[in-house]
Copies of this chain bind each other. A is one copy, B any other.
Amino acid sequence: SSVRSGEMAKSAQLIDNEVFRAYATYAAIVLLKMMLMSLVTAYFRITRKAFANPEDTASFGKGDSAKKFLRTDADVERIRRAHLNDLENIVPFFGIGLLYALCGPDLSTALLHFRIFAGARILHTFAYLIPLPQPSRGLSWAVGYAVTISMAYKVLSKALYL
């Protein structure tokens, strides 16, 4: 029906915009990267036999034989820290980046922000998990942080309404 296509057209507006398409692409990539950390954690919990919940160790038997797998493992904790760092940094990128993409920035400037952020967070993950010597992790974190601050500056200077 024409009502339906009218609705479809409306919903398609944002995604037809090149800046918004670029935002959607890089936002999806970094959110997927963040989600990947769950799989890495699960993999290390299973291979290292290091679990947080008693019900997760039930398949290893009962009593003390299972209880010994309720423990922390240095590598599992490292991945969990990397995952939390993603939440602390990728969530602000997603939020501020969305507002930024709706502020009508130049396509080339927007792409520069999105690409540098995505690259920096992928580097940050490798630096955290391999691990690479510092300042690899610190620098890649700082670059992503600076990109988000730069987008926030644009948002506040364009939209400020207190």
Residue positions of A touching B, CB distance < 8 A = 7-8, 10-22, 24-25, 27-29, 31-32, 34-35, 37-38, 52-53, 55-56, 58-59, 78, 81, 83-84, 87-89, 91-92, 94-96, 98-99, 101-104, 128, 131-134, 137, 145, 148-149, 152, 155-156, 158-162
Contact = CB atoms under 8 A, between A and B. Distances in A.
A35 to B, nearest CB: 5
A101 B11 contact: yes
Contacts of A102: 11-12, 14-15, 20, 24
B159 A104 contact: no
Contacts of A18: 7, 161
Number of copies: 3
